Amino acid sequence: MDSEFLWWRDGVIYQIYPRSFYDTTGSGIGDLNGITEKIGYLADLGVDALWLSPINPSPDVDFGYDVADYRAIDPKFGTMADFERLVETARNAQIAIVMDLVLNHTSDQHPWFLSSRASKNSPYRDYYLWQDARPGGKPPNNWRSVFGGHGWEWDEQAQQYYYHMFYKEQPDVNWRNPKVREEMLDVFRFWLDKGVKGFRLDVFNVYFKDAQFRNNPTRLFGRRPFDRQIHTHDFDQPELMGVLHDIRTILDGYDAAYAIGETFLSTPEKAAGYTGKDKLHACFNFKISEARRDPRVFMRRIKEWEHALGRDNWPNYVLNNHDTVRSATRYGQREDDARMKVLAVMLLTLRGTPFLYYGEEIGMRDIQVRRRDILDPIGKRYWPIYIGRDGCRAPMQWDASPQAGFTDGDPWLPLHPNYIIRNVARQTKHEGSLLHFYKKMLAFRRTHPALVKGDILPLVAGNRSVMAYQRRFIDQKLLVLLNFSAASKNAALPINARFLPAFSTHSRSPDMLFTGRIQLEGNEALILYEK
Ligand code: GLC
């Protein structure tokens, strides 16, 4: 592996949900100038790239994931000039910008769709998936929408059905149409030319649907009707590989450009299959964030991921995003951050690119939204079985002032009431805070090539609460020990070398010699280096 720092491989990527980061206008919604103002904070935290959830014009049925124009900035977030200033300010702080590209579907307000539905003769008609009704007016086949109900929507104006895997306001485009393909590929060039360094590709593995629109086979078990199908014909079609190749060719024409795909219904094998030379640089595998807080389960999934990717591909790890209950809510305890520190050390010391989600560094918890305040349409539809994704999208907690310093207006989602005690300003002042811990850990990671580039060797720690692994790069060897229990635990490792503490959640004497046996404190994360 080369010694040069490659931002997406060696760095840390921080996801921002722009609506909720920082509002400079009093609109109650975060904006691009707000992100620009906080670049100092992000540089100080020690991240290398920002992935911005969509900032294109959108009617916000799915809060930006329904795009009405791929080449513009939504006025509620600012102007193109604001965006250019953000890219520039970030670049000066050595932070890359990663755009979220939602290319499986557009908004139903996108001019392509408006024209497409208006006439069979529209040049845009074939930009979408239109099909005639089956006899009796039935939908063309059995495909379902992930967000509930049928995937096919009858359109009175068009006198045909169109397909939407997500909300009906998000019609799927027809990637088999060469014009659509060209338009979409051009979107990459457009943003790369503006200085964007990378892309997160929304649900890329469903771009193609079966050309003959065959029914999916059904199965007996599954939570939702969508899960009671085997997605043979609406997911993972072979034609996708050609598009990944085209995307990669474009990216390779730009310096250090990158793409990570959101593998929808991920498995490690599937995500790995789309990763590599001539494909995407990386794909998400969500099996780790879906795991319960048990070191054995985590380790099993890490090994599966490593195994699926092989030595030539680079893993990535993510515990949070805008679709999932926050890790501090899933795994944390009330306002105590001891467990979150152990998880932070895990995330930041595994072999692979770590992804952070805004507020993770201060241990933000999900908000509880009352039924009448739910904004996410799937939450409205499925409450109380599923309450939607508003919980993890609440405004960033900057300080203890009214509205947490996020806005002078009415925030679009309620603040978590804990913002009075859990906020950036307060954690900046307290040495023992989670925020300080993240900063220290990120700095430690950056200065230790074994953590940034090294290989990983999982170890058996002789205790089921303790996770252990080594990271090695040339002559640097680090040993990571994570105690997932609140009680102190003994660990015994089969190593015959001498190690000294380098980093710990607890105070450890720097000359405590470790030769294989150790008593870890409750919730201790300890990194040792070989003497
Ligand atoms: C992805 C996004 C999610 C969105 C969906 C449809 O899963 O992460 O937020 O609702 O795609 O675009």
* pLDDT tens per residue across span 77-112: 999 999 999 999 999 999 999 999 999 999 999 999
Q: Which is nearest to 363 in space by CA: 342, 387, 389?
A: 342
Q: Whose CA is nearest to atom 2 of ligand 1?
A: 202
Phi first, then psi, for residue 252 (nearest 5°) are -65, -15
Taking only the tens place, the pLDDT of each residue in 408-456 is: 999 999 999 999 999 999 999 999 999 999 999 999 999 999 999 999 9
Q: Which is nearest to 48 in space by CA: 12, 15, 6?
A: 12
Mean pLDDT of 223-244: 97
Q: Whose CA is nearest to atom 12 of ligand 1?
A: 65
Percent of the chain with pLDDT over 90: 98
Known catalytic residues are 202, 262
Residue 509: CB partners within 8 Å, gap ≥ 6?
501
129/240 Cα distance (integer angstroms): 16
Is the pLDDT at 1 greater than 50? The verdict is no
Q: Whose CA is nearest to atom 4 of ligand 1?
A: 65
Q: Is 166 in the pocket of ligand 1 (CB under 6 A)?
A: yes
pLDDT reported for residue 4: 87
Is the pLDDT at 137 greater than 80? The verdict is yes
| pLDDT band at residue 496 under the 50/70/90 scheme | confident
Displacement of CA 309 from its chain's centroid (Å): 19
pLDDT reported for residue 93: 98
Q: Is 102 in the pocket of ligand 1 (CB under 6 A)?
A: yes
Mean pLDDT of 510-517: 93
Q: pTM for the whole thing?
A: 0.98
Taking only the tens place, the pLDDT of each residue in 324-345 is: 999 999 998 889 999 999 999 9
pLDDT reported for residue 3: 63
Provide the residue count of the chain. 531
